[in-house]
Structure 1
């Protein structure tokens, strides 16, 4: 504000208020001091256009990164200082006139601060939406891995990301639709920052999943990122049960995309296997990736070793589930029965049916490897729920 010659005293008021608020620019006062002076002197109330101008100053304060508390303090301090420094002609009026001046001035303060706060809040919402949009675009490009490195480095800098570091990606899938994304992102960011002691973390959403990108060289805590993510998300009222997949750590931009692809594959594999493990590490499902590299061969193995199970009464499903439980429990029939919630006799009967239908004996170590590889392949291919792919 540039005061008129007879209002030069307002310059000192503005500067004092700025000092009280920690150096907030006096420009953010606009014509506020003139409104206060007119209210105290003439009882004039602020017009709508003048209050709209104050709201714009609130937006400007938010865009400049001035905290809401400091800019409000600027306005309140300015009102206090102006009242104390009013010209003697105003202060020496009779008591009723002084009370009227004070009431008029307080009304201007009330209206101005309300509009200031509203403008500030609108600007903050716009900034948050803009940042969320930039965050989503950045995470999309980082996970795709084919964008220009120089541009990505510039875009990642405001988020505190150093793309030269070793990072890993964690994906979290809710049981149904993704719940309140803002609440989930805020909760995850807070706990990951606190645990890793590192601001080089990005949390966003992609394709209905929560994505956590974090440095893998931040100490032993980085190895706990998957469990940390699952534990924090499980505290939210919605989205449970969550399934979390952790990609392996890799350096550089393309390492981020690689870790993401591994986490995505692990999440898909856990769903196909109907795994009850809430946190799946990519390294734990490497065998399935090996199997899928030569799909024609694994299809042939499943067809040859397990195809005859389709002739069993009730189909191949129960026998395949029994084989899977049998191998998962170290070929112990009693433990398999517990896992399947059936009797031991049922397990031994089914294993004998497998032997008779396929010619492979699950209890024979020489046959067990072939059967186990075929069972894993069937899980990967989602057979018998889906038909086996046709030969190329």
Structure 2
């Protein structure tokens, strides 16, 4: 067995053992002074669980100095259990690690203050053991904390998904024990890929999960209560509880897009809790319409896509509207010119730039389109019919 470490003529482990209880109380007081979150913990917890685990650490370090060995699994077990409890209490991991590292440094400083030049070899051994302690404790505490948080998040996500499913399905029995908001803003979301998602695995999957976490956090900052969501990396549904006014759709969408680092399309519809299924249906349909008709990333409500929305409902009129432009099918340039002309706000020069042709060519093609279809974009009434016909054709192309 290795000889015990001697410092200033006294076994180091005895210096700690003799004062472990009083030193633990001093350390806890220092945690309260130095680490803000500890000032918010109840006195009962500080004087009980926190002081006990601190004293256990001091005795563990003492045993390491006595036997000149790393901490054992049995010695680390109480630290793991304590870290799991702190995770349940939502004490930040960085605060927990700060306490362990602060305690190790404090013990080291107290011992070094007793040393003399004759203790140089002992100090080297002590330094090695303190580093082993810090390494082992950091690993054990982080692992236990993160495992507990992962389990908690899994349970929270499961409960959240169950609540969303019950709301969407109108399951009043399942919702009986859930505290619901008076109203919800239902968001149907489509999310583009972040550039990092194109990496080889596991980098792509990690980037997708991180993107999803950032999106959830961005939405939560615009709510006063817990947001409900069923999301994956490509989109899904978000339910924002409304107890007062609605958050700005433009601001929420912008915040999500910045957080995601990717394009986002959002469709919104609000309603009381018992109307969430209907609101979700409208939001999902508005989102589909916005995507089908090539709307740019952003936030949309039904009022923003009324014409396109109506054209996507099953109707004999939709087919007939699309058929108004059938005379142009044998000349795709005419149909494309007409579409770009309307998309450009009836600006012939801009249309010519986009099509890479002379403005006179645009004029000629528009005249030919008028001759073939009888629809003149210069006539406001006929312009509306042309726009509706183009929208109907785009919807039909999507269905194919």
Distance in 2, matches of 1:216 and 1:321, equals 45
- Compared with structure 1, are the counterparts of its residues 259 and 141 closer, same or farther at alpha carbon in structure 2 (3 Å cutoff)? same
| Structure 2 gap ranges (5+) | 1-16, 33-45, 198-206
TM-score (norm 2): 0.68
Distance in 2, matches of 1:300 and 1:12, equals 89
Contact 2:28/2:54 (8 A) holds in 1: no
Q: State the partner residue of 2:337.
A: 322
Q: CA deviation at 1:181?
A: 2.9
Q: Does 1:169 align with 2:192?
A: no
Q: Secondary structure in 2 aligned to 1:274?
A: coil
- Compared with structure 1, are the counterparts of its residues 176 and 298 closer, same or farther at alpha carbon in structure 2 (3 Å cutoff)? farther
Q: State the partner residue of 2:312.
A: 292
Distance in 1, matches of 2:102 and 2:346, equals 78
Distance in 2, matches of 1:358 and 1:344, equals 21
Q: State the partner residue of 1:224.
A: 250
Q: CA deviation at 1:298?
A: 0.9
Q: Deviations over 1:25-46 (max 9, x none)?
A: 2343474333333345x34424
Distance in 2, matches of 1:211 and 1:200, equals 14
Q: Does 1:113 align with 2:99?
A: no
Distance in 1, matches of 2:360 and 2:115, equals 104
Q: CA deviation at 1:290?
A: 1.6
Alignment map for 1:329-340 (pairs within 5 Å)? 329=344, 331=346, 333-340=348-355
Q: Does 1:181 align with 2:205?
A: no
Root mean square deviation, CA, Å: 4.4
Q: Does 1:246 align with 2:270?
A: no
Q: Secondary structure in 2 aligned to 1:163?
A: coil
Q: State the partner residue of 2:50.
A: 25
Alignment map for 1:21-170 (pairs within 5 Å)? 21-22=31-32, 23=46, 25-29=50-54, 31-40=56-65, 42-50=66-74, 52-53=76-77, 56-57=80-81, 59-64=83-88, 65-72=90-97, 74-75=99-100, 96=118, 106-127=127-148, 129-130=150-151, 133=154, 137=158, 138=160, 142=164, 145-146=168-169, 148=171, 151=174, 163-169=181-187
Alignment map for 1:288-367 (pairs within 5 Å)? 288-303=308-323, 305-310=324-329, 312-314=330-332, 318-329=333-344, 331=346, 333-367=348-382
- Compared with structure 1, are the counterparts of its residues 47 and 286 closer, same or farther at alpha carbon in structure 2 (3 Å cutoff)? same
Give the paired residue count: 356
Distance in 2, matches of 1:361 and 1:136, equals 56
Q: Secondary structure in 1 aligned to 2:69?
A: coil
Q: Deviations over 1:258-310 (max 9, x none)?
A: 555444434433333233x332413311222222223333123323x223332
Q: Secondary structure in 2 aligned to 1:145?
A: helix
Q: Secondary structure in 2 aligned to 1:248?
A: strand
Contact 1:30/1:54 (8 A) holds in 2: no
Q: Secondary structure in 2 aligned to 1:247?
A: strand
Q: State the partner residue of 1:10.
A: 20
Distance in 2, matches of 1:347 and 1:127, equals 66
Q: State the partner residue of 1:272.
A: 292
Contact 2:164/2:230 (8 A) holds in 1: no
Q: Deviations over 1:103-124 (max 9, x none)?
A: 5555444323322221222234
Contact 2:81/2:144 (8 A) holds in 1: no
Q: Secondary structure in 2 aligned to 1:249?
A: strand
Q: Secondary structure in 2 aligned to 1:205?
A: strand
TM-score (norm 1): 0.69
